[in-house]
Amino acid sequence: MMIENLFKIFGTKTKALEILYLLEDVKPVVRQGFYHNEIRKITDFCKEKGLYIEFSPYKIVLMDHGAYSNKGIKVDADDPREGMVFAYISKGKEKAKKANFHEANNNHINLGKALGYPECCCRFFKKHEPERSRLDSDYTVCTAENSGGSEFPFYTNILKRSMDITLLNHFPCSFNCENSIKLAKNHLDIIKKHDPEMADYFSERLKGKFNIEERLFEFI
């Protein structure tokens, strides 16, 4: 019921689960994008739950309009084009403020750490950001290139994000990243606590064989 209620407010399972991780004290800060007409229900929710929320002083105009688009351009908050503002939500006011500050200053490592991502993955993101930001801002290929072997734990499978199925909210530095595996296991435990059927569904759907750049990856 908790996940279902969060889904009604935040719009996707991925966003709803990320908020759940925050409420369960696994995630220090949540960063999500919202359009103007969505902000009221988000702020009402935060007020009800005693959460602090900070908004970016700019907005992002998406280059394509899929629910899981990664590519966008930063514009002033008063730009007439429709865009998403980032909300930084936390149980601690300073944590939300710092995450907002780090992103506004393009400090990718400190932002990632503020959001609870493994430092190795934050450094991985920073390394590839100059190139990927010019392309599609999708780091999956970089993760694949940094992953040795052919079999990987399903916990780090981020290939079904567009289907709203993932246990991670960041791009792991590799599909074998121990820190990401540990984080994903914690997330799965929380899902299982609130919705055992969803936990089983995620576990099964994240397993299987996937082709990335003509290379076969099997998640088990």
What would the pLDDT profile of 30-66 be if each residue is shown by its tens digit? 999 999 999 999 999 999 999 999 999 999 998 765 5
Q: Could you tell me if 172 and 219 are in contact, meaning their C-beta atoms sit under 8 angstroms apart?
A: no
Cβ atoms 218, 159 nearer than 8 A: no
pLDDT of residue 70: 59
Separation CA 197–CA 186 (nearest Å): 16
Residues in the chain where the model's pLDDT stays below 70? 64-71
pLDDT at position 189 is 99
**Nearest by Cα to 39 from 76, 77, 4:** 77
d(CA 27, CA 83): 26
- Residue 67 confidence (pLDDT): 47
pLDDT, residue 63, reads: 72
- Residue pair 18/27 in contact (Cβ under 8 Å)? The answer is yes
Give which of 121, 73, 91 is closest to 29, Cα–Cα.
Answer: 91
pLDDT score for 72: 78
Residue 32 bridge partners (DSSP): 87
* pLDDT in the model for residue 64: 64
